[in-house]
Amino acid sequence: MVPDSTFASAAIARNPAWAQLLGLCPLLAVSNSVVNALGLAAASAFVVIGSNTLISVLRRQIPDMARLPCFVLIIATFTTVATLLLEAYAYGLYEKIALFVQIIVTNCMILGRAEAFASRQPVGRSLLDAAGTAAGFALALVTLGAVREVLAHGTLLRDAEHLFGTHAAGWQISLGFEVLPLAALAPGAFIVAGLLLALGNRLLRARPATTTPDTDAT
């Protein structure tokens, strides 16, 4: 497997949200707007890329029987750092999504990639796999966030200043209609996610089957 396919495989074929259905709790809870989705995607990317790279660097030093405590320590540390950075530099967004940033530490997607891939592969490939996993999760989050925000509020990028600073206050795009206010609530999240999942399955299954050996599946 060449490095490029490591990234693409992690992002698309083994997309943590749509293909493996991992991390659905924060995915559904936070994706009521694009900005919230971007915030969680950035925090998740920081944790998965940082922790998996470090685990790959230390993989020969960590004995088998201590690997899970060590992985959890490293992931929890990166999660806490992400929470502190969010609170310091994006306080408005922190107030909205802090709870779900803190529970990144329990996200099976991150521990899964650490155990199945980063702890067995060299740093370069682990970094690509983590970046692909982060990109796939971000893609799922932002897609769901955009669809829900458009359906529920008829806007895109509302409250952009919470993530990008005061100069982003005018970035909101108003489409002038609110088709489905339910989309902003939990039941709407399940309905929209289910429809996007069905669409994703339809598109992926329409593609010819790949022959890539699945040696590192979670």
Residues in the chain: 218
Q: Which is nearer to another protein, 66 or 179 (CB)?
A: 66
Q: Which is nearer to another protein, 41 or 97 (CB)?
A: 97
In whole angstroms, the minimum distance from the beta carbon of 140 to another protein comes to 21
At 15 the three-state DSSP class reads coil
Residues 11-50 that bind another protein (CB under 8 A): 29
Per CB under 8 A, does 187 bind another protein? Answer: no
- Measured in whole angstroms, the distance separating CA 165 from the mean position of its chain's CA atoms is 22
Answer for which of 1, 3, 4, 69 binds another protein (CB under 8 A) is 69
Q: Which is nearer to another protein, 29 or 182 (CB)?
A: 29
Stretch that binds another protein, among 34-42, 79-87, 107-115, 128-136 (CB under 8 A): 79-87
Strand boundaries in the chain, DSSP class E: 155-156, 173-174
Token pair for residue 104?
Answer: 């990144």
Token pair for residue 128?
Answer: 């690509």
The conformation of residue 209, written as its DSSP 8-state character, comes to: P
Per CB under 8 A, does 61 bind another protein? Answer: yes
Count residues contacting another protein (CB under 8 A)?
Answer: 23
Burial of 91 (0-12, 13-18, 19+ CB in 10 A): exposed
At 121 the three-state DSSP class reads coil
Burial of 101 (0-12, 13-18, 19+ CB in 10 A): buried
Measured CA to CA, the distance from residue 201 to residue 90 in angstroms comes to 35
Answer for which of 17, 74, 109, 183 binds another protein (CB under 8 A) is 74
Q: Which is nearer to another protein, 84 or 217 (CB)?
A: 84
Binding mask 92-131 for another protein (x = CB under 8 A): ---x---x--------------------------------
Q: Spell out a b/e string for 171-194, using b for 16 or more CB atoms within 10 Å of the CB, else e.
A: ebeeeeeeeeeebbeeebbebbbe
Answer for which of 13, 70, 191, 197 binds another protein (CB under 8 A) is 70
Q: Which is nearer to another protein, 38 or 90 (CB)?
A: 90
In whole angstroms, the minimum distance from the beta carbon of 139 to another protein comes to 25
Contacts with another protein by CB under 8 A lie at 29, 58, 61-63, 65-66, 69-70, 73-74, 76-77, 80-81, 84-85, 87-89, 91, 95, 99
